[in-house]
Structure 1
Amino acid sequence: MTEIGHKLICEEHGPNDLAEYAQLADRSAFDYAMISDHYHPWTSTQGESPMVWNVIGAISRATDDLRLGTAVTCPIMRIHPAIVAQAAATAGAQLPGRFFLGVGTGENLSEHILGDRWPEHAVRLEMLEEALEIIRTLWNGKTTSYHGEYYTVENARIYTLPDELPPIPIAADGPKAARKAGEIGDGLIAISPDEELIGAFEDGGGENKPRYAEVSVCYAEDEREAIETAHEVWPQAALPGELMWELPTPAHFEQATEAVSEEDIAEMVVCGSDPDEHIEAIREFVDAGFDHVAVHNVGSNQAEFVEFYEDEVLPAVQ
């Protein structure tokens, strides 16, 4: 059975709106939600980027049953893993049995802000592995000291712990990271329907672990309106290669996306109100081996999007 989630995007929406959208998802036929964790939006047009942990606290009070996970938190630079461990433990206590901590190696866009050097991916993957060791050790609830290659923790103890510790799925955009996710993670998170990622994840030990995917759409009754909205708000979806992880500021993304056309975006983001196109985008991930697919709707018409999916899309894919 495939579970369909609602992706909450902090880069597009303020904290109160995000809590409202989570409430919409909680009352809908969506199975869960995921929420992004950024310091900066991709472009200034998106216009928002609230602190995700404050928003999670608000969502915990606004919802009753919604499962929620970060997608994704980077616990290696901007926020020390010992602080992420405390934040996620608190979120787990606020959302008992309903929270998971999705992690990854991050993007330069949000992680460079303290002036640290942006390491190559292989180093960031090593840092992530050490960070998860710290997080899980602190979740034992005992006084902990840790002196590793990348991090130091001295006499730290987390007192507020949930009864059920959050699972930690790991984001991957290549086979090496996917293999590591299978080895040390509690699941996989990816943004492309790549069977090679699934194979590497299983090779690393992820055979029976959940696989989360994300797909971007832009719902509007008028397809042209949807394409224009997606092009204005989410142009970085059409950027090639590793630019998403390497560009350091929204201004750089704005420069990089100047050449992105509406046609380019229409190829990357499902635009409009044809349910078959939305269903096909989800099934592409399901066919690749994902059992959870979170849908990000570009724009502010989240209530209309939820209604459309409940009526036209979810019955065909859940």
Structure 2
Amino acid sequence: MVTVGFHASHEQLRPSDALAAVRHATAAGFQAAMCSDHLAPWSARQGESGFAWSWLGAALEATDVSFGVVSAPGQRYHPVIAAQAIATLGEMYPGRFWAALGSGENVNEHVTGDRWPDKPTRDARLLECVEVMRALLAGEEVTHDGLIRVDRARLWSLPEQMPALVGAAVSAQTAGIVGGWADGLITVNQPLDTLERVIGAFRDGGGDGKPVYVQVHVSWAPDEDTALAIAHDQWRSNVFSSELAWNLAFPEQFDAAAEHVTPDAVREPVLVSADLDQHVEWLSAIAALGVDGLYLHHVGQRQDEFVDAFAEHVLPHLTGNGMSTGAERNAS
């Protein structure tokens, strides 16, 4: 069964607005939710960045669906603290919480004052964090001395059901590594052939049989010009290669880099259309790759109109491919 979830973007929405949006979305029929975990937005125009972990407690309490978060242990978060946060939410909301772990971006991590490592070092640090966090979540006392250091740490409040530790990856190379340690994969929409390679690398790397989730950036409005204007205003700072996005340190640098990005250039990372049937077609093609969950991120800052339109016109078509609507789930 494929799940259609709502993505709450902390970079773009005040925490209170994000909570209202996710309540609206899940009441309308979105079956799950996930959120970002940023200290800074990608652009000054986005203008927000609430603390994901305290927000998640409120969001889980306010709804009855599962939630995920994409986070980066190792620098801004010591892995012991990250594991404690995961354990607490897992204990309070059994079976409803998962955490995706990635190697991070400098825009969020530079605040510690530590040197921003190169990608191989960040990947190695993430693997150490995963090892430490799994041991802590299993109730073990952990001491570790490597790229991260841990001194006799133990978690005292543990969940009865272990939350899934999902791996975040954009490239096929990283997805292959993730397949060896993660309980699932979270990636983003890309050209279908690229996305197929990413998913294939994850499965070939050890992830066969594990769930695959895709965060899909979309922009919809009743007319095409408005849909494109929303995407260009809010997401033109996210058209760059991962190498650049990982390493810039400030939202103002992203804005400077995006100064000459044209509206049409945003159509690659964002599915832009006023035609809801076109969105059905795009999303169905992604689901057909064997994806277990689609998490839809409308890149605008106003969510209600998007939620209502997709709940009425898009989700029912996708549910015909094996998904249940919110009403059906609540009736079962």
TM-score (norm 2): 0.90
Matched letter for residue 12 of structure 1: Q
Which residue does 1:147 correspond to in 2?
144
**SS of 1:146's equivalent?**
strand
Which segments of 5 or more consecutive residues in structure 2 lack a partner in the other structure? Answer: 320-332
Aligned to 1:168: 165
d(CA) in 2 for partners of 1:149, 1:270: 42
Give the aligned partner of residue 249 of structure 1: 250
Matches within 5 A, 1:1-318: 1-63=1-63, 65-70=64-69, 72-142=70-140, 144-191=141-188, 192=190, 193=192, 194-318=195-319
Q: Give me the CA root mean square deviation.
A: 1.5
Counterpart code for 1:66? V
Residues of 1 paired with 2:110 and 2:281: CA distance? 37
CA distance in 2, matches of 1:2, 1:179: 23
In 1, distance between residues paired with 2:27 and 2:90?
Answer: 21
Summarize the Cα distance change of 1:21–1:124 in structure 2 as closer, same or farther, 3 Å threshold: same
Distance 1:203 1:148 in 2: 31
**Stretches of 4+ aligned residues off by more than 6 angstroms:** none
Opposite residue 213 of structure 2, the aligned amino acid is Y
1:150-177 CA distances to partner (integer Å, 9 max, x unpaired)?
Answer: 1222222212222211101101122232
Quick one: which amino acid aligns to residue 2 of structure 2?
A: T
Contact persistence 1:25–1:66 (CA under 8 A): no
1:108-167: CA deviations, max 9, x gaps?
Answer: 11111112122121111111111011111111224x231231122222221222221110
Give the secondary structure class of the aligned counterpart of 1:5: strand
- Distance of 1:244 and 1:205 partners within structure 2: 27
Whichever residue aligns with residue 41 of structure 2, its letter is P
Aligned pairs, how many?
315
Report the AA paired with residue 27 of structure 1: A
For residues 195-240 of structure 1, give each alpha carbon's deviation from its aligned partner in whole angstroms, at most 9, with x where no partner exists. Answer: 1111211111111000011111122112211211211111123224
Q: Does the CA contact (< 8 Å) of 1:270 and 1:277 recur in 2?
A: no
Q: 1:147, 1:132 → 2: CA distance? A: 12
* Other structure's SS at 1:228 match: helix
> Any idea what SS the aligned residue of 2:37 has?
coil
The offset of 1:94, in angstroms, is 2.9
Q: Is the 8 A contact 2:105 2:246 kept in 1?
A: yes
What is the rounded CA distance, in whole Å, between the counterparts of 1:128 and 1:275 in structure 2?
39
Is the contact made by 1:109 and 1:250 (CA closer than 8 Å) also made in structure 2? yes
Identity percentage over the alignment?
39
Distance 2:239 2:261 in 1: 7
CA distance in 2, matches of 1:69, 1:182: 18
- Which moved further from structure 2: 166-175 or 146-155? 146-155
Distance 1:288 1:125 in 2: 27
**Offset at residue 270 of structure 1 (A):** 2.4
Please state how far the C-alpha of 1:33 moved relative to its aligned partner: 0.8
Q: Residue 47 of structure 2 aligns to which amino acid in structure 1?
A: G
Aligned AA (2:68):
G
TM-score, L = length of structure 1: 0.94
C-alpha separation in 2, matches of 1:175 and 1:266 = 22
